[in-house]
Amino acid sequence: GQHGDLAGRRVIVTAGGTHEPIDPVRYVGNRSSGKMGYNLAIDARDRGAHVILISGPVALPAPYGVELHQVETAMQMRDVVHSFITNADVLVMSAAVADYRPQVAATQKIKKQTQHEAMGHQDGGALTLHLVQNPDILGELATTLDGDGDASRGSGGISNTPAKKRLIRVGFAAETEHLLEHAREKLRKKHLDLLVANDVTRLDSGFGTNTNKVLIFHADGAMEDLPVLPKTGVATAIWDRIVPLLG
Ligand code: PMT
């Protein structure tokens, strides 16, 4: 609580997946349950932090003692992240943010073509969804906070608060192939302090599970291979590595 190693710190944790509307009743989404992010928020609270939890739609109860902001889309999540970034010490992006959204969300429910209507068409009633890219919430901070293309952090760009230390940024990676390569690339490109890569090939790790098997990549190139742990334990391991970076 008051005397924990995150006492006096303001931390932002994002959790869950985003829902990108197709029409009033349908969306493009992913399998994130929010468990990883909610456990990160709860552990930070227990260590004394003021926690801002920005969550996509999940089936989890609101954690006690945490400032919860519920969002639906990647664009909404980005707005809320931006509104709290100025005074934050840490941003942990465990949300599975949709990379793409339908270009237009239909205002009325999209009707299925009748058999008769479909017969008259070459594609037999197929429906094409046109997707456009969402902004990369974490990636664009590399530009706004650090200045573009400059790997030296905390100088040259717009500091989150001039008098304060820079924002510690932690990302996650969910990859189905070339895990190490992609994780190192994300760490570097998004100017992260830590990158947590989930093993999504295992049944006891990744989306929806109560346990997770992760590799933690540090900015200096070091990599740690953690065993399968409950997501509570993974959350603790992540904060244990963030605290020393807080100076
Ligand atoms: O919620 P659970 O069921 O417990 O599952 C946890 C989890 C597997 C979802 C979680 O541990 C995890 O890996 N979250 C990130 C998944 C993801 O979207 O990874 P990515 O490789 O697509 O994105 C890399 C990083 O950039 C992430 O920190 C992501 O939050 C961030 N990002 C991605 C896209 C985007 N448009 N904006 C972002 O900020």
Q: Give residue-wise pLDDT tens across range 22-70.
A: 999 999 999 999 999 999 999 999 999 999 999 999 999 999 999 999 9
Does 171 sit in the ligand 1 pocket, CB within 6 Å? yes
Closest residue by Cα to atom 16, ligand 1, is 96
Assess if residue 119 is contained within a domain: no
CATH number, residue 64: 3.40.50.10300
Assess if residue 29 is contained within a domain: yes
Is 160 considered catalytic here?
no
Residues near 135 by Cβ (< 8 Å), separated by ≥ 6? 74, 75, 78
Does 94 sit in the ligand 1 pocket, CB within 6 Å? yes
CA 116–ligand 1 middle distance (angstroms): 43
Residue 96 has what pLDDT? Answer: 98
How far apart are the C-alpha atoms of 161 and 94, rounded to whole Å?
23
Rounded alpha-carbon distances, angstroms, from residue 234 to 77, 83, 210:
24, 28, 10
Burial 205-232 (b: 16+ CB within 10 A, else e): bbbebebbbbbbbebeeeeeebeebebb
Domain that holds residue 133: 10-99+127-246
Assess if residue 200 is contained within a domain: yes
Assess if residue 122 is contained within a domain: no
What are the tens digits of pLDDT across the range 77-99? Answer: 999 999 999 999 999 999 999 99
Distance of CA 194 to the CA centre of its chain: 13
Assess if residue 105 is contained within a domain: no
Element (H, E) at 91: strand 90-93
Assess if residue 108 is contained within a domain: no
Provide the domain count of the chain: 1
Token couple for 244: 């020393």
| ipTM at complex level | 0.99
Closest residue by Cα to atom 23, ligand 1, is 173
Assess if residue 178 is contained within a domain: yes
Assess if residue 118 is contained within a domain: no
Does 208 sit in the ligand 1 pocket, CB within 6 Å? yes
